[in-house]
Amino acid sequence: MRPARFVERATEGAARAGEVHTARGTFTTPCFMPVGTRGSVRMVAAQDLEGLGAQVVLANAYHLMLRPGAESVAALGGLHAFTGWGGHFLTDSGGYQVFSLDPAVDDDGVTFRSTYDGSSHRLTPERAVAVQELLGADIQMVLDVCSPLPSPHPVLRLALERTAAWAERARHAHRRDDQCLFGIVQGGADPALREESATRTAALELDGYGIGGLSVGEPRHEMLPALAAATARLPRDRPRYLMGVGDPVSIVEAVTRGVDMFDCVLPTRLGRHGSALTAGGRLSLRTATMASDDAPVDPACGCSVCARHSRAYLRHLFQVGEPVAGRLLSLHNLSWLAAFLARIGEAITDGTLESLRIETAAIWT
């Protein structure tokens, strides 16, 4: 019996707030997953994530299979014991990272060189499943082919065909009944290809569905129709995950089109470079005007950073190169984004999502 199911608790149009049930437990949606590529979110500890109310952390199988190695992680008890994180883990197969290295691709899989030492490695759909089973994540993603955008139609077609075939092979290779397997929808910005990919992937009856290859440089007005075409063909009783998207406008627009889960490095990357997510939009803490500002980063935010530290203090830390500056602002950004997703869920329940969508667009675009 499959370990995952999705339960809708409220809807507004295509948007839904609900719960994902897995062998580990339950997490609520819509949700944002902090990115811990190598098993750790940059500058943030597992206990910090617990305090922030994070439910799911994303790790990357490509990086972990290279260092320290999937077998090493398994010998140490799997990702949860290895990292000290007791919530859900989702592992990406690493397909996006592999394809950024210009690998040799054939119908069977990909051959690539390690970004660490240049050594050669082979990844097939079956090997991607085996690696992630060793890592022990609660949710693993199939190996897919992620084409850059724009790409000509024949390239998108080949990526779709290989992704569909590889998802079926992954389904047959998957053995752990305590681990969910998510398929991935490809098709570029072409709604017809997205619809076809979603239909074929849904036919495999997997535990959930990722939507990959979007928000990779294409304008939002091209992304959203392709996204809507995909979600319309995915089953309502399984979670839907838009991969690599974390800006507020794209999140709320995707939720209105039926997406439940998101991940992105955006909040921690911005934090490390001195930018904060706030109710008024993006705020740079490095500007000279912050030097005498004793207000919290975001007066509307209830996080521990805003409760204790001023904008002036954080600017000072950045000015003198204190590493804790990036850590504090990363914590704020993750907390702010978690609260934003919770607010979206409340808006769905209250029937006010359209008002929140308009408000978000006015602030962030």
Q: Are 231 and 308 contained in the same domain?
A: no
Catalytic option among 48, 190, 247, 263 = 263
Is residue 92 part of the annotated active site? The answer reads: yes
Q: Are 257 and 302 contained in the same domain?
A: no
Residue 289 sits in which domain range? Answer: 270-364
Domain boundary among 264, 283, 306: 264
Task: Read off the pLDDT of residues 328-348 as tens digits, 9 standing for 90 and up.
Answer: 999 999 999 999 999 999 999
DSSP 298-364: -TT--SHHHHH--HHHHHHHHHTT-THHHHHHHHHHHHHHHHHHHHHHHHHHHT-HHHHHHHHHHHH
Cβ contact 277:337 at 8 Å = yes
Catalytic option among 48, 92, 190, 260 = 92
Q: Label each residue of 76-107 as H, E or C.
A: CCHHHHHHCCCCEEEEECCHHHHHCCCCEECC
Q: Are 258 and 350 contained in the same domain?
A: no
Question: What's the mean pLDDT when you consider all of the chain?
Answer: 96
Tokens, residue 57: 């952390």
User: Is pLDDT above 60 for 1?
Assistant: no
Query: Treating both helix axes as pointing N-terminal to C-terminal, what angle do 220-231 and 191-202 enclose, rounded to 10 degrees?
Result: 30
Q: In the predicted model, what is the mean pLDDT of residues 64-68?
A: 97
User: Is pLDDT above 80 for 295?
Assistant: yes
Domain boundary among 216, 248, 264: 264
Neighbours of 275 (CB within 10 A): 18
Task: Read off the pLDDT of residues 34-61 as tens digits, 9 standing for 90 and up.
Answer: 999 999 999 999 999 999 999 999 999 9
Q: In the predicted model, what is the mean pLDDT of residues 341-365?
A: 97
Task: Read off the pLDDT of residues 192-218 as tens digits, 9 standing for 90 and up.
Answer: 999 999 999 999 999 999 999 999 989
Query: Treating both helix axes as pointing N-terminal to C-terminal, what angle do 153-173 and 125-135 enclose, rounded to 10 degrees?
Result: 50
**What distance in Å separates the CA atoms of residue 271 and residue 112, rounded to the nearest whole number?**
32
CA distances from 205 to 43, 231, 236 (A): 38, 15, 12
**What distance in Å separates the CA atoms of residue 208 and residue 202, rounded to the nearest whole number?**
9
In the chain, the number of structural domains is 2
Q: Are 293 and 253 contained in the same domain?
A: no
Neighbours of 203 (CB within 10 A): 13
At 365 the pLDDT is 75
Cβ contact 133:140 at 8 Å = yes
Q: Are 258 and 311 contained in the same domain?
A: no
Tokens, residue 250: 């794209």
At 290 the pLDDT is 98
Is residue 298 part of the annotated active site? The answer reads: no
At 2 the pLDDT is 62
Q: Are 102 and 192 contained in the same domain?
A: yes
Q: Are 24 and 161 contained in the same domain?
A: yes
Q: Are 299 and 228 contained in the same domain?
A: no
Q: Are 248 and 312 contained in the same domain?
A: no
Q: Are 260 and 289 contained in the same domain?
A: no
- Cut 0.85: pTM above it: yes
Q: Are 314 and 343 contained in the same domain?
A: yes
Q: Are 159 and 281 contained in the same domain?
A: no
Closest CA to 342 of 31, 58, 35, 51: 31
The DSSP H or E segment spanning 132 is helix 125-135
Task: Read off the pLDDT of residues 219-265 as tens digits, 9 standing for 90 and up.
Answer: 999 999 999 999 999 999 999 999 999 999 999 999 999 999 999 99
CA distances from 38 to 33, 102, 186, 252, 298 (A): 14, 21, 25, 28, 30
- Going by their DSSP bridges, the two strands 180-185 and 208-211 should be labelled as parallel
Q: What's the alpha-carbon Rg for the chain, to the nearest Å?
A: 20
Domain boundary among 210, 236, 264: 264
